[in-house]
Amino acid sequence: MITSYILWYENGQNPYETKRTAISQFIQKYSTEYIDINVSDIIKNKAAEIMKTGIKTKDAYHVACAIFASCDCFLSTDYRLLKYQTDQIQMLNPIDFVSRWERDSDDQ
């Protein structure tokens, strides 16, 4: 799991302390890579390109970070965001991701 300065910023805006704390703990425990603000110009340019397709600003920045990190897929439950298509990353809802992972595991 990749995390970024955008995710930390967004979580910091969460008005519910309990949820904010739980998300912070989850991120710290499971993140394997962090996209720092020092690459913000690269992320900003990619996010601007993504936003041209109608994707909202925060979502575009999250996807841009995932692309920058060379992630294989981006998981979301936002069906509007999942409509974004690119050859740089697979956009999947968590159920489809788990189904593919299980299918791929069975094939091996």
Domain-by-domain residue ranges, the chain? 2-107
Q: What is the structure's pLDDT at 108?
A: 66
The pLDDT of residue 22 is 97
> What's the pLDDT at 57?
95
pLDDT at 80: 93
Please give the Cα distance from 65 to 60 (Å, whole number).
9
pLDDT at 77: 94
pLDDT attached to residue 76: 94
Is it the case that residue 100 has pLDDT exceeding 90? no
Please name every residue paired with 92 in a beta bridge, in sequence order, or none if there are none.
75
Q: Is the pTM of this model over 0.95?
A: no
Q: Which of 54, 52, 71 is nearest to 7 (CA)?
A: 71
Fold adopted by 2-107:
Rossmann fold (3.40.50)
Beta pairing, strands 90-92 & 2-4 = unpaired
Q: Report pLDDT digits (tens) over 30-89.
A: 999 999 988 989 999 999 999 999 999 999 999 999 999 999 999 999 999 999 999 999
Alpha carbon distance, N-terminus to C-terminus of the chain: 23
H helices of 13-90, where?
A: 17-30, 40-51, 57-68, 79-82
How many angstroms separate the CA atoms of 85 and 6, rounded?
A: 21
